[in-house]
Amino acid sequence: MRYIVTGGYGFIGSAVVRQLTQAGHEVYNLDKKTYAANPSAVAGCAVQNIHACITDRPAVSALFKAARPDAIIHLAAETHVDRSIDGPSAFMSTNVDGTFNLLEAALDWWESAEKQEAFRFVHVSTDEVFGDLGPDDPIFDEHTAYAPSSPYSASKAASDHIVRAWRRTYGLPTVVTNCSNNYGPWQNAEKLIPTVIRKAVLGAPIPVYGDGLNIRDWLYVEDHARGLIAACEAAPGETLLFGARAERTNMELIQTLCALLDEMRPKASPYADQISHVTDRKGHDRRYAVDPSSAERAINWHPDRSLEDGLRETVKWYLENLDADLVDQDDRLGLSRS
């Protein structure tokens, strides 16, 4: 099959590209190569890389005409909540306008291809569009009302609504997916788990927002990528939620990572001694968790890795692959080591 993957140099996108190419599919990767891009994550993959932004309508239209895809898996997005608070404009441009461009180009191609029945537009979103949960609230499902809290989640919520409108109005065969927090190898250095590992190994304070009791459900990235590929076979109009039923507070997660580092790279004092509480994020959502029953029913998807196994693999990978770049990454991100 022929796939377009947007954001294929990114964390989740590169996992999708690796799995598709390993299975022998033809892949076109559309990626702007922003700060979050890591071409090394798909090095060696037989993929055609197109360096352009999804807001570039001529480039997007030309890609559809050249690729004649069986499916598009749309992952390209600005995703970091802190960055969205400091500069929301890029999030509105990429996540909203870029998704609109892709839908218009996909619709033009789909109609010119005589409405190919098997075609799917898989739009990858986040559980953050649902807002946050209280400690005893039922977890998010595909029927949960939207209540985004940050500029990032608001921009993703807008793009979800636009995708569904193109399905309802024009009949474009779309599928919307929402996922819980992803983790695993190749994640951008500014995200929580890579930051904890980097700071720990540098001997720097390990930052924890607020009281550290914010709760997230953690999903291994390769499990999510497998689900996204399977979503290309889902019925048009489906909403699929991907989660691992693995809720942890941020403090619990960080303490687990510190314990793994104590085991895998021991030093004189426990890594947990480096944990340091910092000022909480503005509008910090308290709890996210999703019910993956929709994906289990529709595409027979289940995560393969437990959180414990996945975290062990992740820490091992970072210790083996990022030693030489630890200090450089910290300096490049402007993150204090004091």
Q: How far apart are CA 183 and CA 310, in angstroms?
A: 8
Task: Please compute, for residue 12, the number of CA atoms within 13 A of its CA located in the half-sphere on the CB side.
Answer: 30
For the chain, the straight-line distance linking the first and the last C-alpha, in angstroms and rounded, comes to 50
Helix (H, G, I), strand (E, B) or coil at 302: coil
Task: Please compute, for residue 263, the number of CA atoms within 13 A of its CA located in the half-sphere on the CB side.
Answer: 10
The reply to whether 128 belongs to the active site is: yes
28, 178, 186, 228 from 17: Cα distances, Å:
9, 19, 13, 11
CB-based contact 227:75 (threshold 8 Å)? no
Catalytic residue among 127, 160, 223, 285: 127
Q: How far apart are CA 241 and CA 294, in angstroms?
A: 6
Catalytic residue among 31, 78, 97, 128: 128
Catalytic residue among 152, 271, 288, 318: 152
Residues with Cβ within 8 Å of residue 309, at least 6 apart in sequence? none
53, 189, 203, 325 from 332: Cα distances, Å:
23, 10, 17, 10
Q: How far apart are CA 122 and CA 215, in angstroms?
A: 27
The reply to whether 152 belongs to the active site is: yes
Q: Which residues are catalytic?
A: 127-128, 152
